[in-house]
């Protein structure tokens, strides 16, 4: 695998069912379902086209239309709930997130909570399409705030003290693999620098803190 691949991308030969081509950031990606021996479903992954090579096409080996349609439906769910094209490396976790039962899906989500300064909150609350709106919660205004917000935006969280440097909380319910390993999430979230303060989960808070300290040490 390339150094720019996802950290858990497969290496060597593998069999897969192509599902969809997606343009993401600056490149084209093939989204595919791994051929899982003995199971109807396989792990759905994505990989840059220029990092893949077709070694053999098995023309006599086909799958039914229903299986392909089911895989595409799971892909759409994963794209919507992940907010990106990284879908982890655990088939059972993917199937749980794609369950038709809301309670089962909820168990596959992790709540990311962070608090914002006023300038960063202005950018974040305007980006309503980055992550599923039904799994997003924003701070209510502080007393005296006059900023406009979209009438459908979920401003339901109580703000912190006006004396707090980061009084505006935000919560996102995301798949565990997105919170734990997704590069796009980190590029977006950590890009706000000191404009955000992560509260949960603890591991991501420590990662943000460690990166900030490492950057600061460069200039000492």
More confident residue, 149 or 73: 73
Q: Which of 77, 1, 72, 80 is nearest to 33 (CA)?
A: 72
Return the beta strands (E) in 83-218 as ranges: 109-116, 136-139, 155-157, 168-175, 196-200
pTM of the model: 0.88
pLDDT at 2 over 50: no
SS3 state of residue 55: coil
Mean pLDDT of 110-139: 93
pLDDT at 196 over 60: yes
Average model confidence (pLDDT) across the chain:
90
Mean pLDDT of 39-62: 81
pLDDT at 104 over 90: yes
pLDDT at 26 over 50: yes
Strand-pair category, 27-34 with 109-116: unpaired
Helix (H) or strand (E) holding 81: helix 65-82
pLDDT at 13 over 90: no
SS3 state of residue 115: strand
More confident residue, 56 or 36: 36
pLDDT at 12 over 70: no
201: preceding bond cis by omega (within 30 degrees): yes
Residue 15 banded pLDDT, cuts 50, 70, 90:
confident
Mean pLDDT of 44-51: 91
pLDDT reported for residue 72: 97
pLDDT reported for residue 187: 95
Chain segment 127-159, per-residue pLDDT in tens? 778 899 999 999 999 999 999 888 888 999 999
pLDDT at 211 over 90: yes
How many other C-beta atoms can be found within 10 angstroms of the C-beta atom of residue 25?
10
């Amino acid at each position: 695998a390339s150094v720019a691949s996802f950290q858990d991308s497969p290496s060597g030969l593998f069999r897969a069912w192509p599902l969809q081509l997606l343009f993401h950031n600056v490149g084209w990606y093939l989204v595919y379902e791994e051929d899982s021996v003995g199971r109807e479903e396989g792990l759905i992954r994505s990989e840059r086209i220029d990092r893949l090579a077709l070694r053999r096409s098995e023309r006599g080996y086909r799958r039914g239309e229903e299986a392909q349609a089911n895989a595409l439906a799971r892909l759409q769910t994963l794209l919507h709930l992940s907010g990106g094209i990284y879908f982890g490396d655990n088939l059972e976790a993917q199937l749980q997130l794609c369950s038709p039962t809301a309670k089962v899906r909820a168990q596959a989500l992790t709540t990311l909570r962070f608090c914002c300064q006023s300038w960063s909150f202005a950018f974040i609350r305007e980006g309503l399409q980055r992550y599923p709106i039904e799994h997003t919660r924003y701070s209510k205004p502080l007393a005296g705030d006059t900023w406009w917000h979209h009438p459908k935006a979920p401003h339901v969280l109580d703000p912190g003290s006006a004396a707090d440097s980061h009084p505006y909380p935000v919560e996102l319910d995301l798949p565990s693999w997105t919170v734990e390993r997704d590069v796009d999430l980190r590029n977006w979230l950590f890009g706000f620098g000191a404009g955000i303060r992560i509260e949960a989960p603890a591991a991501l808070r420590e990662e943000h803190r460690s990166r900030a300290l490492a950057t600061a040490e460069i200039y000492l």
